[in-house]
Chains A and B, each alone.
Chain A
Amino acid sequence: MKRIARPLRLPRPLRGSVLPQYACRKSTLQHLQESTAPSSSPPEESPSSSPKPSSGHHHRYATRSEVDDEVPELAKQPLHPLSLADLVKHGRPPLSAEALLSSARFTLSLLPIRLAHRIQALRNLPYIVVSNPNIRKIYNNYQHSLSTLLPWQGRTISNLDDEIRFTEVLAELVQTHTDTIPILARGFLECRKYIAPAEVTRFLDEHLRARIGTRLIAEQHIALHFSSTPHFDPAASPTPCPEHPSYIGVIDTALRPASIIDSCGGFVADICELNFGVRPTWEINGEPDTTFAFVPMHLEYIVTELLKNAFRATVENGMSREPIIITIAAGPPDDGRHAPRSGVVNLDVPRAEASRGSLGNLGSDAIAPLDDNAPGVTIRVRDRGGGIREEVLPHIWSYSFTTFNENDDVPGAWNDDGLHAISAASNGSSSIAGLGYGLPLSRAYAEYFGGGIAVQSMYGWGTDVYLRLKGVGKIE
């Protein structure tokens, strides 16, 4: 399909014979009344072959000016400060029909605005950056996803059929955006000459955090949906939702970090063995039987990244006989004696740079990211990997910083598997170093629910990483 070159800024949209991809709301509603299903095709990899509404739009990338669509209006609306309470307020599965519909409506109320904010942010990147094919692909993904949701606005999801179709839309959304991070990473790497690292960091900090939230909202509803169906088949769900009483959607209320550490450790040790011929070991001490409420996927991602770093450093430092010591500390339960903890934590706001601390900055606020006023679980990963060089230390939280092949141009073929390792820890990745997004992304996940990560290096000895996770708390 031929792409039409977009003019820079048009005061009025070019309408001509080309029908716009997403018309104004009124005609969308009209179209909705005409067609039976907004988008019911199975999820596909490429966003360019999106399902076409029956009214015959066929030019996907219309010449209509971007300033004239729904995005600016939606982006003006404030983001709802998401809390974990929001995700579990509809109840424990299996949900009643009413609860499921309520969840669907809640999800619908949040997602278009969130997508619009992202699109707006992308639109504000320099033109040359968004022209990069990789960035462009992500931009189009977002526009496409918004277009699949817009038809649903202005109509209430009031019956289970609608709910099923809506869930399918969500599933497609989740699937479409699975590889956003490696593609964005590649795009920004290619554009590094044209945009300052600080600007990239700012954009990505906000974008990736928002992405965590958006996916969480969508995946939660999908999981609730599937775990509420009469014959619950976990395999049918595109999102992990084991059939287990402790699960509420994607949240496991009885998640045992030690189990996650052991399974991720095995996986990372396998990679080490494959790449280095050595298999580092680890020990878990403290309180290994601690459990708390969290999203297993998130914890798996973080733990895998931290263990990758620890294992690699240990092996490269010739200390593979020394086990990596992982300490699990459970914060004491809230006994109600002290001032009530802050209620709703706004999960979408990235923490200020000033609060980041690590010995490299000789940061006097090293404790700041972990000072959340709530009980939680703290996991310390302690290795003998020789520590982090002082010159490197200020950069560990930057995107696309990796000590692996840093002189290469965009990482080559060997990293195609590596890309997938970033997005899903369970994929069969054979590389241990990726595109350098591991630490900042892990921190985004940790901070999303009010926790944080601090890195403390003793150059010449090893590194301690403190992962603080805020517990969800008691869920009735």
Chain B
Amino acid sequence: MPRLSLQNATAPTRLRRAGELGTVAPGRFCIRQQARYTHGGHHGGSKWRPMSVLDEWAAKEARPISLRQLMVFGRTLTEARLISSANYVRTELPTRISHRIRDMQQLPYVVVTNPHINEVYDLYYSAFDTFRKVREIKNLQDNEQFCDTIRAMLKAHLPVIPKLAMGILECSEVMGAEELDNFMNTILKARISRRVIAEQHLALTDTFHAPWFSPGAKLSETEFIGEVFLKCIAKEVVERCGEATREIARRAYGPDVPIPEIKIEGHLDASFPYILSHLEYIIGELLRNSVQAGVERHQRLKSEGKNPGAEPKPIEVTICESSQHVIFRISDQGGGVPHEVLPYLWSFSKGPASERLLANLKQVPKLAATMQELQVEDDKDAHGKAHRNPSYANSLASLSSRPPNLRLGMGLPLSRVYAEYWAGSLALHNLEGYGVDAFLQISKLGNKNEQLTTRATMDSV
């Protein structure tokens, strides 16, 4: 089976697939790639992709999973289970990608030919082509090859989020904000879903091959099952993210600028299973917003001659645990969101601020960098256990570690996508002139299925 090389992450490879031309049934809808709308390695000519293959995959339903299923599945790991997981991923990935490709094909022509969106479209199509051709995995060796393919895809798709964001900002003139947001939310949710199942499988494979592992062994509670951290202790997550955020702020603003403290109260023992990187991203973004607002307000008041006190007011985090949920309330006194910004708060289109944000997006540090490279050395958490060190690139980590003045305008809408992915929610209440309260609700039991988009909105040809 010919394998596409996806090592070069910056320019999607363009291959002519001679055997695939001319098999288009009459009346089928085809996309012709215009040479001038692509960039990087294209050498003229058009890309003719037969729709019948895509149609076949797009007609299949995605099979959503829940955190609990992820956990239970991985709890007693055997070779048979690993192979079974591999085959689940093998068919789920192309199915889910095909849905998104179909979605993109329905967008206005002028949007999909935007260079950034077009690049993402090509990335997706390449991934689809790759994965649909993978044959059934029968043994560990097949699995090894398959995992390599997955790792390559994950790496190649790292730039997708900023590229989409840039494309959306550039297209806000030609397409309605609401439609663009729906598209973005759908595609991001789907992206999370694919990465979850892909990364979970990679993590299970790593665990299986780990020297300390023996098949069928039960994992203790404080461990990870794949990517799912069984016992995220709410308080510890907040403390860790808080420290990381304050550290980044300290480095960015300099030693003379006071940074607000983060105080935690409430049900401090609350814990739940979750995918740690997701949780850290959301809480990190919320805390980052609060810290930034606090620092900037304090500086502004000082420069206006009003006396704001020695330090900015602390950020108050309250954790509330009930039988079904854990809620984080993050209350700051950073001055609130100006009312002219409010309509764009949850949108990927930013109205008047688009120009500035586009420029910032282009500066996002190379997304292949991992948290470890950009953060302070000491990685171990309070109990001395080593923090997760994934062998593949984590796209969230580098977003989280960007300097605070690099505003991308994506933090809130993207956090909400993550929060809602496992049937949680993220809400914000504004006290203009005073501060903001953010409420993150997590489903504690892990028994809610992924919230994927249904196919009802799609054109099923």
Using a CB–CB cutoff of 8 Å, the interface residues on chain A facing chain B are 286-287, 327, 329-332, 338-339, 357, 359, 362-364, 366-367, 370-376, 378, 380, 387, 390, 454, 456, 458-461, 464, 466
Q: Which residues of A contact B430 (CB under 8 A)?
A: 367, 370, 378
**Which residues of B lie under 8 Å from residue A339 when comparing CB positions?**
340
Contact status A460-B321, CB under 8 Å:
yes
B322 near A459: Cβ-Cβ < 8 Å? yes
The answer to whether residues A364 and B425 also contact, given A332-B433, A370-B430, A456-B439 and a CB cut-off of 8 A, is yes
Query: How far does the Cβ of B134 sit from chain A's closest Cβ, in whole Å?
Result: 37
Known A-B contacts A359-B425, A460-B320; the reply to A329 vs B441 at CB < 8 A is no
B343 within 8 A of A: yes
* A458 and B432 contact, Cβ closer than 8 Å, known pairs A367-B345, A375-B339: no
- Are B320 and A387 in contact, CB atoms less than 8 angstroms apart? yes
List the B side residues contacting A357 at CB < 8 Å: 427
CB contacts (< 8 Å) of A287 on chain B: these are 433-434
Q: What separation, in Å, do the CA atoms of A375 and B336 have in the docked complex?
A: 12
Are A458 and B439 CB-contacts (below 8 A) given A359-B425, A366-B427, A378-B430?
yes
B266's contact among A373, A380, A390, A461, by CB below 8 Å, is which? Answer: A461
CB distance from B119 to the nearest CB of A (A): 29
Q: What residue of chain B has the Cβ atom nearest to residue A458's Cβ? A: B320
The answer to whether B441 and A460 have CB atoms under 8 Å apart is no
A362 → chain B closest CB, angstroms? 4
Q: Chain B residues with Cβ under 8 A from A375's Cβ?
A: 339, 432
Residues of A within 8 A of B339 (CB): 331, 371-375
Would you give the shortest CB distance from B308 to chain A, in whole angstroms? 13
Tell me if B194 counts as interface (CB < 8 A to partner A): no
Q: Identify the closest chain A residue to B346 (Cβ).
A: A364
Which one, B153-161, B235-243, B323-331, B378-386, is touching chain A?
A: B323-331
13 A-B pairs with CB atoms under 8 Å apart are: A286-B431, A287-B434, A329-B433, A359-B439, A366-B429, A370-B342, A375-B432, A378-B430, A454-B429, A458-B318, A458-B320, A460-B322, A461-B267
B interface bracket (residues with beta carbon within 8 Å of A) = 20 to 34
Residue of B nearest to A332 (CB): B433
- B270 to chain A minimum Cβ distance, whole angstroms, is 10
At the interface, yes or no: B49 with Cβ under 8 Å from chain A? no
Whether the pair B318, A461 counts as a contact (CB closer than 8 A) is: yes
A401 nearest CB across to chain B (Å): 21
Q: CB distance A359 to B431 under 8 Å?
A: no
Tell yes or no: B450 within 8 A of A by CB: no
The chain A residue sitting closest to B345, CB to CB, is A367
Instruction: Pick the contact of A331: B329, B432, B437, B439 (CB < 8 A).
Output: B432
Q: How far is the CA of A370 from the CA of B416 in the complex (A)?
A: 19
Residues of A within 8 A of B322 (CB): 387, 459-460
B428 at the interface (CB under 8 A from A): yes
The CA of A374 and the CA of B338, in the complex, are separated in Å by 10
- CB contact under 8 A between A390 and B324, given known A331-B339, A332-B432: yes
Binary CB contact string for chain B from 437 to 456 against chain A (1 if under 8 A, 0 otherwise):
10101000000000000000
Q: Given that A363-B427, A459-B322 are known contacts, is A464 also in contact with B432, CB under 8 Å in the complex?
A: no
Docked-complex contact B439 and A466, CB < 8 angstroms: no
Given A362-B441, A373-B340, A458-B327, A329-B429 contact (CB < 8 Å) = no
Nearest CB of chain A from residue B186's CB, rounded to whole Å: 14
A116 to B339, CA, bound (A): 37
Whether the Cβ atoms of B429 and A367 lie closer than 8 Å is yes
Q: Determine whether the beta carbon of A330 is less than 8 Å from that of B433.
A: yes
B:203-244 near A, CB below 8 Å: none
* A380 with B425: CB separation less than 8 A: no
| Beta-carbon nearest neighbor of B425 in chain A | A362
In whole angstroms, what is the CA distance A128 to B238 when docked?
Answer: 58
Question: Is there contact, CB below 8 Å, between A380 and B321?
Answer: no
Given contacts A286-B434, A459-B322, contact A464 B429 (CB under 8 A): yes
Central interface residue in A286, A372, A454, A460, by most chain B CB within 10 Å:
A460
CB neighbours of A332 from chain B (8 A):
338, 432-433
Within 8 A of A (CB), among B64-108: none
Q: What's the nearest-Cβ distance from chain A to residue B5, in Å?
A: 41
* B425 close to A376 (CB less than 8 A): no
B432 (CB) vs chain A CBs: closest residue: A331
In the complex, which residue of chain A has the Cβ closest to the Cβ of B427?
A366
Q: How far is the CA of A373 from the CA of B266 in the complex (A)?
A: 35
Complex CA distance for A453 and B436, rounded to whole angstroms: 15
Give Cα distance in the complex from A34 to B228, angstroms: 88
Q: Name the CB-closest residue of B to A390.
A: B324
Instruction: Evaluate contact between A456 and B429: CB separation under 8 angstroms.
Output: yes
Kindly state the separation between the CA atoms of A375 and B340 in the bound complex, as whole angstroms. 10
Nearest-Cβ distance from residue A371 to partner chain B, whole angstroms: 5
Given contacts A364-B420, A370-B342, 5 further A-B contacts (CB under 8 A): A329-B431, A332-B432, A357-B427, A366-B427, A367-B345
Q: Contacts of B318 on A, CB cut-off 8 Å?
A: 458, 461
A460 / chain B contacts, CB cutoff of 8 Å: 267, 320-322
Q: Judging by beta carbons under 8 Å apart, are A459 and B320 in contact?
A: yes
Which residue of A330, A366, A373, A454 has the most chain B CB atoms within 10 A of its CB atom?
A366
Docked Cα-Cα span, A373 to B351, in Å, equals 15
For residue B424, which residue of chain A has the nearest CB?
A: A362
Query: How far apart are the CA atoms of A395 and B343 in the complex, in Å?
Result: 27
A464 to B436, CA, bound (A): 12
- Bound state CA distance, A460 and B320, in angstroms? 6
A458 to B325, CA, bound (A): 9
